[in-house]
């Protein structure tokens, strides 16, 4: 008797489909990124000199001296790294709250909903490729910004409120300073929230309307429906958006740490030091993602 072939389960089929989608990236990573990655790790433990006659780079093993130089000797790297981490901790909750709030609004039924969704996704298109260069290198925009700053009224309502509420040395003053920092970064937060809005919106649209209808029949208010149905059902996407936002923040084109590492590599031609800085930055990113994912994953609700 012939043995019956086992049929693949739906989960197995979905897993195979997922691996097929990421297969081009895996092949590209193995062919073009794996060797440079190990080469960079080797450089971080070496004193690298350029010698064309010897085949390119000559590496002299110096143990952890490049890492020690990056953290304890270099005057700027550690300061830029700490400022970058602080900025990420400020932008992360602000981006998640803003994108989730906008996704809730866009999930409602109203006229012109498609047009409004396109407006919120427009920053994703505008922040890519050539347009980013135009924004950061446009002399006219830079001149307009300087004129606005010079002619603006320094005693505006926002400035007066900030002077009244922010008191040095007080916890309340630190809280208000945090709020004003968020207000100053509203433009940046809106620009970098396009993908998160789409992810949250796709999750909200998968929630069955019958769940809300049943909850309303049982007497649940809109506030209770949000905490008992909406938030748990999209909790897995909150974790996805957290990881995406952290990686996106660390890899932004205006990242001062990456600009400084590039300066050490290109201008100073100190390949060992820049490699050590890169790996320190990479490990910090992995640690933050790992710690936050470990904490958030315990609160994630998965459903079938």
DSSP state of 74: -
Give the predicted TM-score (pTM) of the model. 0.73
Give me 225's structure tokens.
């429906």
**Nearest alpha-carbon partner for 187 in 239, 254, 240, 259:** 254
Q: How far apart are CA 167 and CA 211, in angstroms?
A: 48
SS3 128: coil
Write the pLDDT tens digit of every residue in 269-290. Answer: 888 888 999 999 999 989 999 9
Tokens 């297969």 sit at which residue? Answer: 23
Residues contacting 70, CB < 8 A, separation 6+ = 77, 78, 273, 276, 277, 280
- Token readout for 222 is 């809109």
**In 3D, which of 288, 291, 298, 297 has the Cα closest to residue 247?**
288
Query: Where do the domains of the chain lie?
Result: 62-108+117-149+176-304
255 neighbors 81 (Cβ within 8 angstroms): no
Helices (DSSP H) in 127-233: which residue ranges?
130-137, 139-151, 157-165, 171-184, 186-191, 194-205, 209-217, 222-225, 231-233
The reported pLDDT for the residue numbered 1 is 47
**Alpha carbons 194 and 102: distance in angstroms, whole number:** 10
Tell me which H or E stretch contains 284: helix 271-297
Which residue's entry shows tokens 């980013």? 132
Sign, CA torsion 191/192/198/203: negative
Tell me the per-residue pLDDT of 173-230, one tens digit each, with 9 for 90 and over.
566 666 666 666 677 777 778 888 888 988 888 888 888 888 888 888 888 888 888 8
Superfamily of domain 62-108+117-149+176-304: MetI-like (1.10.3720.10)
Q: At what angle do helices 194-205 and 77-106 cross, to 10 degrees?
A: 40
d(CA 22, CA 37): 20
Weakly modelled stretches of the chain, pLDDT under 70: 1-6, 54-55, 123-185, 253, 301-304
């Amino acid at each position: 008797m012939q043995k019956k072939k086992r049929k693949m389960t739906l989960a197995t089929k979905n897993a195979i489909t997922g691996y097929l989608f990421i297969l081009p990236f895996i092949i590209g990573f193995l062919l073009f990124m794996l060797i440079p990655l190990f080469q960079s790790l080797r450089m971080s433990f070496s004193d690298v000199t350029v010698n064309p006659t010897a085949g390119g780079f000559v590496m002299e093993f110096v143990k952890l001296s490049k890492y020690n130089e990056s953290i304890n000797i270099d005057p700027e790297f550690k300061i830029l790294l700490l400022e970058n981490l602080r900025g990420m901790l400020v932008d992360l909750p602000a981006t998640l709250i803003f994108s989730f709030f906008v996704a809730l609004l866009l999930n409602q039924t109203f006229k012109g909903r498609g047009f409004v969704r396109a407006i919120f996704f427009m920053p994703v298109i505008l922040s890519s490729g050539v347009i980013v260069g135009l924004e950061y290198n446009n002399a006219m925009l830079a001149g307009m910004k300087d004129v606005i700053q010079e002619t603006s009224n320094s005693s505006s309502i926002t400035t007066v409120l900030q002077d009244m509420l922010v008191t040095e040395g007080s916890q309340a003053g630190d809280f208000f300073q945090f709020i004003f920092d968020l207000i100053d970064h509203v433009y940046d937060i809106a620009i970098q929230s396009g993908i998160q809005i789409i992810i949250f919106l796709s999750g909200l649209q998968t929630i069955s309307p019958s769940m809300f209808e049943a909850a309303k029949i049982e007497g649940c208010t809109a506030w209770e429906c949000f905490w008992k149905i909406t938030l748990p059902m999209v909790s897995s996407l909150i974790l996805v958006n957290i990881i995406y936002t952290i990686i996106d923040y660390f890899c932004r084109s205006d990242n001062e740490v990456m600009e400084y590492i590039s300066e050490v590599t290109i201008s100073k031609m100190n390949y060992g030091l820049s490699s050590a800085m890169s790996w320190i930055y990479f490990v910090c990113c992995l640690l933050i993602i790992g710690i936050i994912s470990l904490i958030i994953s315990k609160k994630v609700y998965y459903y079938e």
